[in-house]
Amino acid sequence: MSLAFLFPGQGSQAIGMGQALAEAFPSAREVFQEVDGALDQHLFRLICEGPEDELTLTENAQPALMAVSLAVVRALKAEFGVGIETAAFVAGHSLGEYSALAAAEALTLTDAARLLKLRGQAMQRAAPVGAGAMASLIGPKSDVALAEEAARAGSAVGVCVVANDNNAGNVVISGAKAAVDKAIEKAKELGARAILLNVSAPFHCPLMQPAADEMARALAETTIVAPKTPLVTNVTARPTLDPDLIRKLLVEQVTGRVRWRESLIWLAEEGGVDRFAEAGAGKVLTGMAKRIAPDATGMALNAPADLEAFAASL
C-alpha cells in the first residue's frame, strides 16, 4: 500500500466542521487555539457558530479549512500514532497546498494561518466584487480541451482562462465577468453544462496578479523548510522537497492553473499511490480521486470515528 494525504480547498467549508474533533481530542483543540492566537481572532467560534456568510468570506474560509485539516493530522499522530511520514506524498487543492505544507512541517501552523489570512484578503483586494467570475463546466464532454476553447472565446472580450482542471467532466474557468459569460455561451455550444460559482473573486487567473505580488513579499519573509513528505504541487503536478521551489510555486499558484487531475494521475501512475486519505472538511477530493484513479481507494477523514477506522486499517 502506498498512501497520499489530500487537503481540501475553498468550498468545503461548513458550519461545525472540526467541532467533533476538538471535543474528542485535546491535540485537535490545541490546533484551533493556536490558529486563534496567530490571527488574534475567534475563528474557531466562527467555525462552530457561524454566521455562514462570515465563515465563507475568503479571508476566514482559507485559514479555517487549514485549521480543520491540521486538527485531523495532529489528532492522528497524537491519538493513534499515525504521522505524516506514513504517506508517500501530500497534495492540497489550492489553499490546501498550505495545509499540506503545514502538515508536512515545511511551514509552521502559525505561519500557515497568517499567510492564508493574507492570501484571502489579497485575493479580495485584487479584483472588485462583481468584476470577475468563475464557472464550472461539467458533463461528459467537459474536458480541458473544451474548456480551453471556451476560454479562448471569452478572451475576445477580457481575461478568461482555465483555472482548475479538477477531473474529467469538471473544469473551472475564471476571469472578467463579461469574458466568463461569453465563455459559458461557447461551452454550451460545445455540449457542456456551465454553472456560475458563488465566489467573491476570480481565483487562479491573471486578474489575481496583485495578490500574487503581495504573497511574494510575504513568502519572502517566511521560513520554509523541506517537507517531511514530498509535496505534489498544483502548478507542476509533480513532487518536490525544495523549499525555494515551493516558495516560487506558491506565488505562481495564485494566478496559475490548479492541475488537480494531472496531480492525481501522477500520484496513481508514477507515484504508485493506491490509497488516498482526505484530511479535513468534506469529501470533495475523495470523490474526485475515485473518478481520476478508480483503482485506488479513498477515505475522507472528518470525524473522530473516521480517524479511528483509518488508523485501524493501516
Looking at the annotation, which residues are catalytic?
Answer: 94, 204
Opening angle at CA 267, ends 228 and 307, nearest 5 = 60
37 φ, ψ to 5°?
Answer: -65, -40
Opening angle at CA 65, ends 307 and 238, nearest 5 = 85
List helix spans (H) across the chain. Answer: 19-24, 26-39, 43-49, 52-56, 58-80, 96-103, 109-126, 144-154, 177-189, 209-220, 243-255, 260-269, 284-292, 304-313
Q: Which three cell numbers stand for residue 39?
A: 490571527
Number of neighbours of residue 195 by Cβ within 10 angstroms: 12
Separation between Cα atoms, residue 143 and residue 145, nearest integer Å = 6
Separation between Cα atoms, residue 302 and residue 291, nearest integer Å = 20
In angstroms, how far is CA 50 from the centroid of its own chain?
21
Q: Quick one: which H or E segment has residue 223?
A: none
Separation between Cα atoms, residue 126 and residue 298, nearest integer Å = 36
